[in-house]
Copies of this chain bind each other. A is one copy, B any other.
């Protein structure tokens, strides 16, 4: 077992180095990059599409789409919305890593964008262990997943900068105790920035877009 642990550590060390290279490249080009994590079906792509629909003129977006299978359902939607998108097929792996993101970065003209959204593989466990070089981690939780998720997947909640609570339009039809949910989050990540939204209707997006503008503005100063 010792050998296995050491090999895993070496993989993580090497990932860390590649992540630092990615960060330098992003910084050199003034691109603010966000790692978007969520469980399958929490609404990552719909959230990105609603963000695109409300994108201020001073934000120029690129999107990376991580998938475990060679399907382009999500990246096709981003391209149809008029934004440059690169699909990353992990070949069955349960997360993106810094090497995959580095290769995908080469596919963008980084002088043409100032915001990069990296849609990670739908998973609440593996992505939390692999840094990519991005500036902020966001998690999209969705109301139908239930109010106990912070208690059951604590690692990912500890390592995020923003929490999006999506599908609030479904609150009337679901037993979801927002207080209990928020209490679990507060315990793991005090004072975490959160936005309650519906990516379907656009409700609650003003605060999120304002947060994005501040971050993109700061990195370009």
Contacts and interface: CB of A to CB of B under 8 A. Distances in A.
A151 B71 CA distance: 7
A21 interface: no
A152 B153 CA distance: 22
A155 B122 contact: no
Interface residues of A, number: 40
A124 interface: yes
B40 A153 contact: yes
A206 B170 CA distance: 27
A216 to B, nearest CB: 29
A202 interface: no
Interface in A112-166: 121-126, 142, 144-146, 148-149, 151-155
A166 to B, nearest CB: 10
A88 to B, nearest CB: 13
Contact of A69 (B11, B153, B173, B174): B153
Interface of A: 3-4, 7, 11, 39-41, 67-69, 71, 73-74, 92-94, 121-126, 142, 144-146, 148-149, 151-155, 167, 169-170, 173-175, 200
